[in-house]
């Protein structure tokens, strides 16, 4: 009886520690994703200002960057929503699945779309660049989470 009470106490403590650690990891991830979003929003605001001042210059020099920023924002906002509504396991599974899916697209997918629309073909290449960037970022965050949040 005494052993069972001790075992249940230890088990309860371990579960509490695991839940607390999961919350800490979600909080850490949430801070990082907010930084990514803030950075992208600041970049998008700068590009929007440039676009409104001189569209021709913007189009020639920054339209591709703006496209990539908007693609990244879409991914980061979805992840932030998942962090706020899901648990650590769900967030980790989303990042793992995204890495796997994007890697498959990069390795097995076509590097070129053979559309007659030049902009469509360019957008495809830019999406591939975004996928590379997101894979690196998500892998880095997953490593930090699995490492207990320690920075190396």
For the chain, give the percent of residues with pLDDT over 70: 84
- 1: helix, strand or coil: coil
Kindly state the greatest CA–CA separation across the chain: 80
pTM: 0.80
Residues whose CB falls within 8 Å of the CB of residue 74, separated by 6 or more in sequence, listed in order:
none
Predicted confidence (pLDDT) per residue in 49-101, tens digit: 999 999 999 999 999 999 999 999 999 999 999 999 989 999 999 999 999 99
- Taking 60 as the threshold, does the pLDDT of residue 106 lie above it? yes
Spatial distance between the Cα atoms of 105 and 131, rounded to a whole number of angstroms: 9
In angstroms, rounded to a whole number, what is the distance separating the alpha carbons of residues 129 and 123? 10
pLDDT category at 35 given cuts 50, 70, 90 is very high
d(CA 137, CA 150): 16
């Amino acid at each position: 009886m005494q052993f069972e009470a001790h075992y249940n106490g230890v088990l309860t403590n371990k579960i509490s520690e695991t839940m607390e650690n999961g919350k800490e990891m979600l909080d850490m991830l949430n801070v990082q994703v907010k930084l990514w979003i803030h950075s992208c929003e600041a970049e998008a605001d700068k590009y929007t200002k440039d676009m409104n001042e001189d569209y021709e210059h913007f189009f020639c020099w920054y339209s591709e960057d703006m496209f990539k920023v908007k693609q990244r924002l879409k991914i980061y906002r979805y992840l932030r929503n998942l962090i706020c509504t899901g648990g650590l396991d769900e967030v980790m599974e989303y990042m793992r699945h995204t890495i796997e899916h994007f890697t498959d697209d990069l390795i097995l997918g076509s590097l070129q779309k053979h559309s007659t629309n030049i902009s469509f073909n360019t957008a495809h290449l830019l999406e591939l660049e975004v996928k590379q960037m997101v894979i690196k970022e998500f892998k880095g965050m997953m490593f930090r989470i699995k490492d207990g949040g320690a920075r190396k």
